[in-house]
Amino acid sequence: MTISFSLQQAEQDLNDLSSFNIQSFCQLQSEQLTSHYPILFARIVYHDCLLKAHQEVISYAQTQTSFSQKKLAYLRSEQWLTQYPLAFELQEFKLNDFSGFSYICPLGYRNQKPEYIQIIADQPLSVELHQYIQQSALLLGKYASIYLVYGRQKFEIQLLEEVLHKVGHQLRNSLAMIGLYAHNLYLGLTGNHWQEQATIIRESIQDLDTNLNELLDCGQGAKLRKSSQDLRSLILESIKGLLPLINQKHLTISIPDTSTNLIIDRLQMKQVFDNLLSNAVYFSPNFTTITCSWQIFQDEVLIKIIDQGRGISQEDIKKIFTPFYSRRPGGTGLGLTIARKIVLDHHGNLWAQSVSEGGAQFCVILPRPKISRSVKDG
């Protein structure tokens, strides 16, 4: 007997919660439980971090009629829950006015209330089914943890979107005013030298406005302009923009010869690599190496950017993707938050960790088209 969903599948499902969420996941698990004889009734109580409330799903075996409202009210009252077993341990419980055998397997005791799988069967559970329920509880617990992380990220991203749009509106007004003055200066000035400088100001304003639009659109998946892009070429482009500081600090950049194609929004993903490499360069001591590497799998690519700086504390790891939290003096604290948002919109993931030998490591996972092949950079 095997569990139909793995943790990896659970993580993939979280990439598209519009069609799959924790409620439907729990519902499917409860239906699988009642489809295995001799389970007559399965009830899963869980906490939905997005709704900020405890919810339940219920499934009956085909041979079992639904319980009366009185019996369901008794189950929900939890008056029968006189002992609290350890998480993921299946224990038998006595239920009033219920025939057969009843069990509970806790998922945890978060949010001041137990979360659990409740089972009613017409005969004692076999050892095999006993283990299956415990494994189901473990899977649900891990899924709930993933969902909780997603909920926090979603809240942070919503906050970021609100801030970006408020700031963006103010910046647009200021840029428009500066652009207007630059145009008036161009018309009023004489001499090619001064007109040329006024033209540069106008063009710079247009570039800033374009970049601002890209920034405001960065988290909107519907506006992603995806195309096939060469990974190595894109990262080399980001490195090229940082060459003055790289040369100033006498840094060495290590990058593989191999590459792969990804279906991504080029401008937005370049923003991700610009940010990660900029941080790596900033925190790298002089005369050290920044290592860029990637592992190419059938359906995804794992990209790592490692520096030899002071590393990242556990406290920083918890907060590093939070809006307005920055380890760089004068930093806005938005770069990594936006980078993660872009990666999530591409159905990937971005995380940070400290390297045991010293330094920081940022990891990016991105989907890879199945027809793509690893190629030699010519």
CATH number at residue 313: 3.30.565.10
The one-character DSSP state at 17 is: T
Answer yes or no: do 255 and 182 share one domain. Answer: no
Q: What CATH number is attached to the domain comprising 30?
A: 3.30.450.40
Within a domain: 2: no
Within a domain: 1: no
Answer yes or no: do 266 and 143 share one domain. Answer: no
Answer yes or no: do 271 and 355 share one domain. Answer: yes
Within a domain: 91: yes
Answer yes or no: do 241 and 253 share one domain. Answer: yes
Answer yes or no: do 192 and 296 share one domain. Answer: no
Q: What is the pLDDT of residues 207-248, one digit of tens each?
A: 677 666 656 655 454 477 899 999 999 999 999 989 989 999
pLDDT for position 362? 95
Say how far apart CA 61 and CA 227 lie, in whole Å: 48
Answer yes or no: do 13 and 82 share one domain. Answer: yes
Within a domain: 38: yes
Can you give the pTM of this predicted structure? 0.51
- Give how many domains the chain has, as a whole number: 3
Burial class (CB in 10 A: 0-12, 13-18, 19+), 168: middle
Q: What is the pLDDT of residues 258-298, one digit of tens each?
A: 999 999 999 889 989 999 999 999 999 999 999 999 999 88
Q: What is the pLDDT of residues 36-49, one digit of tens each?
A: 768 999 999 998 87
Answer yes or no: do 63 and 130 share one domain. Answer: yes
**How wide is the angle at C-alpha 368 spanned by C-alphas 12 and 211, nearest 5°?**
95
Domain boundary among 101, 135, 153: 153
Answer yes or no: do 195 and 295 share one domain. Answer: no
pLDDT exceeding 90 applies to what percent of the chain? 39
Say how far apart CA 278 and CA 272 lie, in whole Å: 10
Domain boundary among 167, 196, 221: 221
Q: What is the pLDDT of residues 335-366, one digit of tens each?
A: 888 888 889 888 899 999 988 778 899 999 99
Domain boundary among 153, 170, 195: 153
Domain that holds residue 101: 7-153
Answer yes or no: do 116 and 206 share one domain. Answer: no
Answer yes or no: do 83 and 205 share one domain. Answer: no
Answer yes or no: do 82 and 212 share one domain. Answer: no
